[in-house]
């Protein structure tokens, strides 16, 4: 019996009436069931087959039975556990309400008081379990339920049961007990004897996410996340959210200390410190939170406020940022001290930009970019002929403008001016050529595709250290133009990637060189090789799904879609929209509409997903709504990524409105039945 649901129904017949799947994670699939003996709803969690295959079933059930003895008002109890038809499962109450993860998806950041109250309630459950000798090992928003305003912690004992039952086999097969975003450094290192302070660390990560909107350490892969935890300190939460009191930040910093001995000894002590920090919040007589003291942080928040004002005031607001009402005097020639200090500031600013570029856009990336901008502006003020500082400043503005932190029109004009100033001083600066190419490609005010391609190729030739990213960008230009041979030629010149980011970037473009130019079989070949090399990476599974979809191999596309979704349970928005397209293309319109309705219920603000949402509506035949969304995207961004080449836009290509949007990108394109296309500059 291949259907997992039917297999489970048969295995548990007579004990539980299994109704359907209600959740899926890295370790288990959750099913809703009825317990007819007690006339109550229950949740049956079934361990994933590959995990169960590596466990000693008897030892696992013995260990989880110990956890079933936990009785506490904030602990979700375990009703039952067992093995049936080779399936390892355990049963818990079906909790009405939502998880902290579901609330975060809806609100992203919680009120400070709510976050601390939830933390305190979880800490109460943890302290009780720790007193019984049980460490949770997987505290995260998905495992904390909210019912009538009260927090309940689920899956107590599961982590220990997995560790004790699986032993060394789990480590050898690469199956981690825990979740990298919340896992303590010692747990990540494979320490089988973690103590309660490991749970304190995970709870600190969850508190941080409830306040900041994301965990403290993120990355493209589990390895990248764990590497950051081992070398970086906790980012300042007050940079992301200035209303968090300083005392709360201090409590968080101690909870997230790398060494267990430096953390709070108990979860309760951590919760108490948070509550004390909240009570110590400093208020001015007017009732407003007092401003930060002058200095680097004060300057940073002046810049952030200036950025927000710039969005409202347009170019005038942008010009005022960091300026004064006093007319500047004629600039004097820089002194030797000025030149030394300018070079020092350039190195600091460049390092901060590089650090920020490696982070997700919704993390503390903005704070690093703004600090880099401040350092580099001061460097160019002290030394107006510092070409590298001008070029690096241009690149910082590319990111700030593209991500909407500065007015796009004026910012990209400014990028061109800074890059051209740098090249006037030193025409061999690769980063200046790169910034200028980006300004002409993703900036507003007209596209110049040949100049963009030439700029990226010139930058790659001048700096081998940036060759991978510039050759990948050059290849993407040719992909949009429908020139597969030129795209592959650019990629062939790239050196061996020096880090995972460069590897993934080159792999993405290699797949797109085929998939987006009428060769989905070639795209599948590239994506499959990538997935085999880095199975924990999400992107190859997406491109396997997309390639199977273009080949009309729907069963395999569905399997790849499930693999992709399971690897990013914290970011389900885009997989949900791709599920709409999957159902629509295989002819199940009702399922597609139900999935689309679910997306709109779960994510009422879909402004960050306009392009994917437009694709979904297009495959459902609602071209009017699709073009409304794309018009909004073009108004905001000036373009849509891969718009000329991505075959998921195919239903729109026969509409005159599609050609109008192509025209705003400076292109005229012809599309053929075999999936190929050719574009030329209009």
For residue 309, give the CATH number of its domain. 1.25.40.10
Report the 10 Å Cβ neighbour count for 211: 25
Whether residue 228 is contained in a domain is answered as yes
Residue 537 lies in a domain: no
Task: Specify whether 264 is located in the same domain as 375.
Answer: no
Q: Are residues 118 and 264 located together in one domain of the fold?
A: yes
Q: What is the pLDDT of residues 31-41, one digit of tens each?
A: 999 999 989 99
Rounded Cα distance between 79 and 91, Å, is 5
Q: Quote the pLDDT of residue 408.
A: 63
Q: Is residue 20 part of a domain?
A: yes
Residue 173 has pLDDT above 70, yes or no: no
Q: How confident is the model at residue 220 (pLDDT cuts 50, 70, 90)?
A: low
631 vs 620, higher pLDDT: 620
Question: 372 with 388, same domain?
Answer: yes
- Please identify, among 416, 445, 474, the residue that sits at the C-terminal boundary of a domain: 445
> Same domain for 127 and 256?
yes
Same-domain status, 121 and 82? no
- Of the candidates 7, 95, 102, 100, the one whose C-alpha atom is nearest the C-alpha of residue 52 is 7
Residues 412 and 338 in one domain: yes
In SS3 terms, 574-586 reads as: HHHHHHHHHHHHC
Look up the domain containing 209 and give its range.
98-279
pLDDT at 363: 55
15 and 124 part of one domain: no
Q: In this predicted model, what pLDDT tens digit does every residue of 501-551 receive, in sequence order?
A: 788 889 999 999 999 999 999 999 999 999 999 888 899 999 999 999 999
Same-domain pairing of 132 and 235 = yes
50-62 pLDDT, tens per residue? 666 666 667 677 6
Shared domain for 52 and 172, answered yes or no, is no
C-alpha closest to that of 432 among 405, 398, 381, 474: 398
Residue 560 to residue 540: CA distance in whole angstroms: 9
Indicate the pLDDT class of residue 251, thresholds 50, 70 and 90.
very high
Phi and psi, residue 659, nearest 5°: -65, -35
Residues 104 and 87 in one domain: no
Residue 505, domain member (yes or no): no
Question: Final residue of a domain: which of 445, 470, 488?
Answer: 445
SS (H, E, C) 62-80: HHHHHHCCCCCCCECCCCE
Q: What pLDDT digit, counting tens, does each position of 227-246 carry?
A: 778 767 788 888 778 899 99
Which of 35, 127, 138, 383 is an active site residue? 138
CATH of the domain at 66: 3.30.200.20
In a domain, 403, yes or no: yes
Q: Is residue 595 part of a domain?
A: no
Q: What is the pTM of this model?
A: 0.53
The domain total for the chain is: 3
Say whether pLDDT at 607 is over 50.
Answer: yes
* Residue 527 exposure: Cα atoms within 13 Å on the Cβ side: 26
* CA dist., res. 508 & res. 539, Å (int): 8
134 and 8 housed in the same domain? no
Any catalytic annotation for residue 646? no
Q: Is residue 625 part of a domain?
A: no
In a domain, 37, yes or no: yes
Summarize the confidence of residues 184-208 as an average pLDDT: 90
pLDDT given at position 368: 83
Instruction: Give the least confident one: 357-371, 424-438, 639-653.
Output: 357-371
User: Do the Cβ atoms of 472 and 486 come closer than 8 Å?
Assistant: no
The CATH number that applies at residue 149 is 1.10.510.10
* Parallel, antiparallel or unpaired: strands 28-35 and 17-24: antiparallel
Spatial CB neighbours of 220, under 8 Å, sequence gap ≥ 6: 500, 501, 504, 537
For residue 547, give Cα distances in angstroms to 208, 262, 326, 494: 38, 49, 60, 24
Band of the pLDDT at 225, cuts 50, 70, 90? confident
Residues 148 and 269 in one domain: yes
CB atoms within 10 A of CB 465: 9
Show which of 445, 470, 485 is a domain's final residue: 445
């Amino acid at each position: 019996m291949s259907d997992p649901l039917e297999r489970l129904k048969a295995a548990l017949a007579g004990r539980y009436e299994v109704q359907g799947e209600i959740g899926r994670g890295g370790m288990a699939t959750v099913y809703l069931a009825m317990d007819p003996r007690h006339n109550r709803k229950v949740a049956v969690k079934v361990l994933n087959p590959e995990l169960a295959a590596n466990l000693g079933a008897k030892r696992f059930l013995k260990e989880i039975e110990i956890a079933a003895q936990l009785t506490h008002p904030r602990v979700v109890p375990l009703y039952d556990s067992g093995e049936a038809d080779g399936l390892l499962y355990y049963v818990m109450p079906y909790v009405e309400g939502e998880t902290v993860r579901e609330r975060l998806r809806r609100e992203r950041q919680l009120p400070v008081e709510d976050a601390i109250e939830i933390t305190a309630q979880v800490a109460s459950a943890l302290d009780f379990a720790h007193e019984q000798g049980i460490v949770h090992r997987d505290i995260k928003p998905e495992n904390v339920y909210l019912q009538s305003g009260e927090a309940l912690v689920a899956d107590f004992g599961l982590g220990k049961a997995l560790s004790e039952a699986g032993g060394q086999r789990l480590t050898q097969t690469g199956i981690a007990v825990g979740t990298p975003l919340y896992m303590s450094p010692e747990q990540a290192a494979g320490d089988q004897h973690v103590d309660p302070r490991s749970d304190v660390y995970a709870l600190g990560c969850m508190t941080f996410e409830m306040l900041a909107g994301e965990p403290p350490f993120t990355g493209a892969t589990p390895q990248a996340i764990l590497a950051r935890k081992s070398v970086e300190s906790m980012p300042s939460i007050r940079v992301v959210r200035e209303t968090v009191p300083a005392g709360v930040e201090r409590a968080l910093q101690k909870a997230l200390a790398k060494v267990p001995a430096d953390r709070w000894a108990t979860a309760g002590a951590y919760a108490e410190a948070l509550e004390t920090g909240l009570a110590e919040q400093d208020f001015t007589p007017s009732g407003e939170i007092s401003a930060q003291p002058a200095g680097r942080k004060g300057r940073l928040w002046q810049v952030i406020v200036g950025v927000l004002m710039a969005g409202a005031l347009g170019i005038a607001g942008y010009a005022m940022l960091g300026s004064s009402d006093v007319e500047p005097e004629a600039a004097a020639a820089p002194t030797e001290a000025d030149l030394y200090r300018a070079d020092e500031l350039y190195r600091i600013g460049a390092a901060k930009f590089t650090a920020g570029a490696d982070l997700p856009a919704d993390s503390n990336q903005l704070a690093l970019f703004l600090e880099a901008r401040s350092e580099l502006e001061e460097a160019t003020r002290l030394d107006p002929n510092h070409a590298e500082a001008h070029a690096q400043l241009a690149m910082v503005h590319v990111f700030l403008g593209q991500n909407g932190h500065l007015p796009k029109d004026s910012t990209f004009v400014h990028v061109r001016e800074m890059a051209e100033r740098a090249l006037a001083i030193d025409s061999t600066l690769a980063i200046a050529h790169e910034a200028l190419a980006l300004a002409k490609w993703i900036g507003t005010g007209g596209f110049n595709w040949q100049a963009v391609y030439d700029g990226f190729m010139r930058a790659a030739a001048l700096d081998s250290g940036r060759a991978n990213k510039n050759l990948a960008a050059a290849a993407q230009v040719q992909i949009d133009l429908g020139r597969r041979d030129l795209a592959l030629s650019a990629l062939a010149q790239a050196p061996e990637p020096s880090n995972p980011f460069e590897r993934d970037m080159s792999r993405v473009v290699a797949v797109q060189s085929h998939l987006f130019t009428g060769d989905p079989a070639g795209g599948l070949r590239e994506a499959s090789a990538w997935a085999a090399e880095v199975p924990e990476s999400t992107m190859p599974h997406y491109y396997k799904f997309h390639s199977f979809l273009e080949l009309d191999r729907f069963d395999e596309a569905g399997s790849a879609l499930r693999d992709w979704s399971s690897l990013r349970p914290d970011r389900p928005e885009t997989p949900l929209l791709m599920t709409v397209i999957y159902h629509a293309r295989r002819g199940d319109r009702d399922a597609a509409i139900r999935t689309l309705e679910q997306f709109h219920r779960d994510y009422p603000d879909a402004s960050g997903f306009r392009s994917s949402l437009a694709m979904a509506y297009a495959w459902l035949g609602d071209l009017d709504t699709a073009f409304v969304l794309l018009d909004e995207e073009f108004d905001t961004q000036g373009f849509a990524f891969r718009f000329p080449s991505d075959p998921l836009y195919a239903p729109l290509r026969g509409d005159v409105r599609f050609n109008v949007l192509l025209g705003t990108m400076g292109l005229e394109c012809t599309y053929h039945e075999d999936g190929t296309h050719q574009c030329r500059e209009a």
